Amino acid sequence: MNGISATQPLPSDDNLPPVIETCVTGGMSLTVSEPWGTARAGIVLLHEIWGVTDAIKNFTSCLAARGYITAAPHLYHRVGSPVVTDRVFNKARRYHDSLTAEGLSVDLEGALEWTRAHGVRKVAIVGFSMGGTIALWAAATLRIEAAVTFYGSGLTSSRWPDVLSGVDAARALKAPWLGIYGERDASTPAGDLSLLRETLERNSVSSTMIIYPHVGHGFALDPQGRRHAPAETEGAFEQVRLFLEAHLVK
């Protein structure tokens, strides 16, 4: 991974691509990072329920360092783009519940358009938790080349009206998809994961599910998080690297 540990925060290094904030049509902010050289492909990075946190910004730069022009849309921009730094779930839930299928579609298309306008032919969507749920839905509904979900819930019931549940999205899957889950994640019970896998197996589109034992929800993105699992994160990020190269680069 270009000498940067997948399980640690990005170091302060002048050689890393900077992260900046820009706006697209409709007033949505994007946190973006561009590779120093020619981009290999593009990634739209979708945040957790907490908003565009420092961990999301770090990962945006991390992806750019690996050659992907990366844009993280501020999905809460209609309510002021809040970031829930104290991790109070009930506060974040209000912002989560403000999202709509129509608004998400507009925002994802805006981020995809911005990314493609910067000269890349192929774009993937990568999402963590809430963003992972949206990434799977996007793989069933949008024109993208691939998608990655980290422990997105809502597998058997929709999180928002008119947004497909994970199982329904798997049934309608159009883009290659990689799903990464924790065995001890209460938001994605074993029965739901089994149903998701069975549904994917009936779809001809390429898909892979990886379930890491002994870890729960939110184990990968934030190295400072109390649920962080370094070994599993390293393995998961390597799977993501191989998946993106297979579907975006080769």
- Compute and round to an integer the Cα radius of gyration of the chain: 16
- 7: pLDDT strictly greater than 60: no
Whole-structure pTM value = 0.94
Parse the chain into domains and list their residue ranges. 20-249
Q: What is the mean pLDDT of residues 23-33?
A: 90
Strand order in the sheet with 68-73: 20-23, 29-33, 68-73, 41-46, 123-128, 146-150, 177-182, 207-212
pLDDT digits (tens, 9 = 90+) for 104-156: 999 999 999 999 999 999 999 999 999 999 999 999 999 999 999 999 999 99
Task: Supply the pLDDT for residue 11.
Answer: 37
Average the pLDDT over 216-221 and give the result. 97
Instruction: Write the pLDDT tens digit of every residue in 38-82.
Output: 999 999 999 999 999 999 999 999 999 999 999 999 999 999 999
Query: CATH: 3.40.50.1820, 3.30.365.10, 3.40.50.9100, 3.10.20.30. Which one for 20-249?
Result: 3.40.50.1820
Contacts of 230 (CB under 8 A, 6+ apart): 7, 223
The neighbour count for residue 201, using CB atoms within 10 Å, is: 11
* Confidence at 157, pLDDT banded by 50, 70, 90: very high
